[in-house]
Amino acid sequence: MPAAADRDDGTRRPRPVERLAASVSLVALPAALIILVVGAFRNWAALLAALVALLVGVIAGWHVVTRKRLRRAAAGLVAVLAFVVLLAAGILADLDLSRVAVILVLIALSAATARIALRRRARTAVIRPTPRPARPVLLMNPRSGGGKVEKFGLAGECRRRGIEAVPLRPGEDLRELAEEAVARGADALGMAGGDGSHAVVAEVAAAHGIPYIVVPAGTRNHLALDLGLNRDDVVGALDAFTDGTERRIDLATVNGRVFVNNASLGLYAHVVQTPRYRDAKFRTAAETMSDFLGPDAVPPDLRFTGPDGTEYSTAQLILVSNGPYLLDRLEGLGTRERMDSGRLGVVTLTVRDASEAVRFATLQATGQIRRFPGWRQWTAERFEVRSGGPLAVGVDGEAVTFEPPVVFAVRPGALRLRVPRHAVGVSPAGRAVHLLSRSTVAALVAVCLGRAPDGTGWKP
């Protein structure tokens, strides 16, 4: 049995190398900031111009997404001019490139050593090797990801590994194909497709208690990313059938429908519902934002109860995820460190007026969205949204309409997940370090003193 100091179960104290790394991180970042401030005072006029240009650019950018037609065009022109001024201010500041290089090196050093000092350990997930399935089946959507199934020759790769490959043809029902595969004796199910397809097949696998394999053949493959799979290695994901390890993860539901990533109401849900969304995502999103966040916008009828029991009557965005997201900005929707906590992640965003809109845009641009007063984030086992009429919901990127109330719930450990033995198995959220947050600084100080930091997966 390993010594207590070397145990990897979340109870050990920091090693000397981690204490040294924490010390370096705490020194390197302030040093970079001091050099930056000294350089800024030497070029205060250019710095002031740059800050004003940045503020004007943020405000103009907000008007671009919340106004229409002529006003949007005018705001776009102002944003471009602000960018030009910002660029000119940088040139006039006569930056010392060696000073900039030192600052960048110190910031990178601080981030790298912080990651070493606060590296997370496997906590509750139990991962174990399992025997190879006797009758594995892979369902494939040839249209997903621009034709990745054909591009990577998945049918042939399956034959070489003894896996039955079942393509989804136009007009066929994916759930029925999965049920038929189980009825034929399948003892492991996989899906090569997008996250919406994964939710359907994963639900069937969970219902029958057989392992499930994720093959990232969709466009974005958020589920694969959060599971620590290499999204670029589509063929390598098939190794989960032949040489895999198994663990259990949660599944989430909205009014009984399973989702593996997230479901949203408000802004994003209406973007997804728009018929032209698939062909013109950016333009559709911009037009929809003006309807939700512009000066003439009507607050959505989305009623819910906060974590402290407070009742809310509206929100521009409600996001419920299968496991909490680590979010600094809205784009991309972040990543999840784990999906085995038995908890939903709940995020709500409420923007009440123009001044809050500008503040939100500024914090969004700087990756500090959690400091916005209308931003709320918590975890729950159950969450309910009420309304006076049908609600549009984006479920794993698919447009769905539900009658209220819309009830979200979690099924802890419902899915037997099988992944390749060679998969890294760590989500980007599990490797993230936020240098400027108070919690990270406190954790680094604790490691320097030889104590286990709260919130990093270690116990005191």
Domains of the chain: 16-124+442-448 (no CATH), 131-250+414-428 (3.40.50.10330), 262-412 (2.60.200.40)
Alpha-carbon distance 300 to 293, whole Å? 10
Alpha-carbon distance 215 to 205, whole Å? 15
Alpha-carbon distance 199 to 411, whole Å? 13
Amino acid letter, residue 98: S
Q: Are 421 and 241 in contact (CB under 8 A)?
A: no
Residue 181 phi/psi, 5-degree rounding, is -65, -40
Amino acid letter, residue 319: L
Q: Are 189 and 164 in contact (CB under 8 A)?
A: no
Q: Cα–Cα distances in Å, from 269 out to 145, 327, 359, 392?
A: 21, 18, 23, 6
Q: Are 140 and 174 in contact (CB under 8 A)?
A: no
So what's the pLDDT on residue 30? 82
Q: State how beta strands 136-140 and 164-167 pair.
A: parallel
Closest CA to 158 of 135, 176, 181: 135
Cα 4–chain centre separation:
34
Tally the residues of the chain: 460
Closest CA to 211 of 50, 437, 416: 416
38: Cβ–Cβ under 8 A, 6 or more apart, which residues?
none
So what's the pLDDT on residue 326? 81
pTM across the whole model = 0.72
So what's the pLDDT on residue 432? 54
Alpha-carbon distance 72 to 63, whole Å? 6
Q: State how beta strands 317-321 and 262-266 pair.
A: antiparallel
Other CB atoms within 10 A of residue 2 CB: 9
So what's the pLDDT on residue 429? 52
So what's the pLDDT on residue 11? 43
Q: Cα–Cα distances in Å, from 400 out to 176, 260, 269, 282, 396?
A: 20, 15, 9, 20, 10
Residue 90 phi/psi, 5-degree rounding, is -65, -40
Classify the phi-psi angles of 312: left when phi > 0, otherwise alpha if psi is within -120 to 50, otherwise beta: beta
Alpha-carbon distance 127 to 439, whole Å? 29
Question: Which H helix or E strand runs over 402?
Answer: strand 398-402
Residue 270 phi/psi, 5-degree rounding, is -75, -30
- How many helices (H) and strands (E) in the chain? 15, 19
pLDDT by position in tens, the chain (length 460): 344 444 433 445 778 888 888 888 888 878 877 776 776 666 667 667 777 777 777 677 666 655 666 776 787 788 888 777 777 776 666 556 676 677 778 777 877 787 777 765 444 445 566 788 999 999 999 999 889 999 999 999 999 999 999 999 999 999 999 999 999 999 999 999 988 999 999 999 999 999 999 999 988 888 998 888 888 899 999 999 998 889 999 999 999 999 999 999 987 777 666 655 554 444 545 555 555 565 566 788 999 999 999 999 999 889 999 999 887 666 555 688 889 999 999 999 988 876 777 777 777 766 777 888 889 999 999 999 999 999 999 898 888 999 999 999 999 999 999 999 877 655 555 555 555 566 677 778 888 888 766 544 333 3
So what's the pLDDT on residue 156? 95
